[in-house]
Amino acid sequence: MNSIPNTPDEALLDRIADALVNEGYIICDQAIDSALTLALLQRIQQLDELAFQRAGVGREQDQQLNAQIRRDQIRWLDTHDAREAAYLSWMDQLRNGLNRRLFMGLFDYECHFAHYAPGAFYKRHLDAFRGQTNRILTTVFYLNTDWQGDDGGELLLYPGQGDCVLERVAPQARRLVVFLSDRFPHEVLPARTDRYSIAGWFRVNASIGNQIDPPR
């Protein structure tokens, strides 16, 4: 894994920063090296089914399972696996790059693999409510090679108000979506085949006594 380039270049960092200021979101194709993307796809496909858990709605004590809202399976990334560590390193460099450009105070990043089996979905939702969370930026990175137009599984991004679709994003490999967590409702449409991605959040430090608030 050490031979795989996994550093965002300055031009990409500039593009992301400018888009966040002007539009609040960006869709970047071929954002991360193809070798790392393939390694991450192999990693998620090799994981035992027991490594995944049903994704819940809400956080901590308020979290609950609701199959009417979402049906994906998730597994949080950590640094024990070199492929996961390489992705986390890339995102840490993105965090530093955005902090240098936008002074956002991004402090921490958390992310999980997401597996949507055929028919799985995630209804329209917000990742953060203004003033009630320290999640600032959402990222979604797709791992699906050879995704076809009729495979479904698109991410629909909405403006803050209304039902018009702002963006319809096919989950194609190497595509990275970054958006302000409290500004854009979004949903995942049902897929007709297995759909793999990494969903993550940059957070600011709203901690008391060394405990990040809110915890995962």
Domains in the chain: boundaries = 10-48+70-204
Per-residue pLDDT at 22:
98
Per-residue pLDDT at 54:
81
Per-residue pLDDT at 108:
93
Per-residue pLDDT at 66:
54
Give me the CATH topology for the region 10-48+70-204: Jelly Rolls (2.60.120)
- Which tokens go with 62? 């308020």
pLDDT digits (tens, 9 = 90+) for 75-100: 999 999 999 999 999 999 999 999 99
Q: Is the pLDDT at 186 greater than 80, yes or no? A: yes
| pLDDT tier at 68, thresholds 50, 70, 90 | low
Per-residue pLDDT at 82:
95
Cβ count within 10 A of residue 26: 18
| pLDDT tier at 206, thresholds 50, 70, 90 | low
Q: Is the pLDDT at 19 greater than 50, yes or no? A: yes
Q: Which residues contact 172 (CB under 8 A, 6 or more apart)?
A: 29, 142, 144, 147
What are the CB-based long-range contacts (under 8 Å, 24+) for 7-11?
Answer: 7/90, 7/93, 8/90, 8/93, 8/94, 8/97, 10/97
Q: What is the pTM of this model?
A: 0.88
Average pLDDT over all residues of the chain: 88
pLDDT digits (tens, 9 = 90+) for 123-162: 999 987 766 568 899 999 999 999 999 999 999 999 988 8
